[in-house]
Amino acid sequence: MSAKTVPKKGGAVLTAEDEFLTYPIHNVVGVFNDRDTARAVVAELISHGFAEKDIVRYHGTEGEDKIDFEGTRHGTLSTMIRALQHIGPDRTYLDRYEKYLHAGNSIVMVRVMTKGRKQSAAEVMHKHAVHRVTYFGLFMIEEV
């Protein structure tokens, strides 16, 4: 195993491509019932001019593993970051998203840099029977 890999559950390996998500800053995040709905949301976001590289989709337990809600699969610093997040206001969102993924739901995140793009992303997500849509800004979190 190289220095760029870390073991995870089931013997699989996280690579450098599996970056640790510390905080979804400047992202609109939506929760959807299933993988197909999340795919449709991604396709519609792209058709509205959002770059594919700015969109991330997570689903079910594999999504739980990628987000690494405890930070244990990405090293000591990640574990400390998650520990701090679990005692702060981020705890509510971490717990909520972990429960949604554990139940088999999907999460779509899209990076936005303007209010107009934030609104456009939220409108697309709301059209697809989303559980909730949240914007994570620099020093704020808001339901959109």
Domain range for 44 is: 23-143
Assess if residue 99 is contained within a domain: yes
| CB of 68 closer than 8 Å to CB of 78 | yes
Beta strands in the chain (DSSP E): 6-7, 13-14, 27-32, 55-59, 106-111, 132-136, 141-143
Predicted TM-score (pTM) of this structure: 0.75
Assess if residue 13 is contained within a domain: no
What lies within 8 Å, CB to CB, of 82 at 6+ separation is: 68, 69, 70, 71, 94
Assess if residue 4 is contained within a domain: no
Assess if residue 137 is contained within a domain: yes
| Residue 57: strand pairing partners | 108
Assess if residue 52 is contained within a domain: yes
pLDDT (tens, 9 = 90+) of the chain, 144 residues, equals: 333 333 444 333 333 345 645 567 799 999 999 999 999 999 999 999 999 999 999 999 888 778 766 555 666 665 555 555 547 666 677 778 889 999 999 999 999 999 999 999 999 999 997 788 999 888 788 989
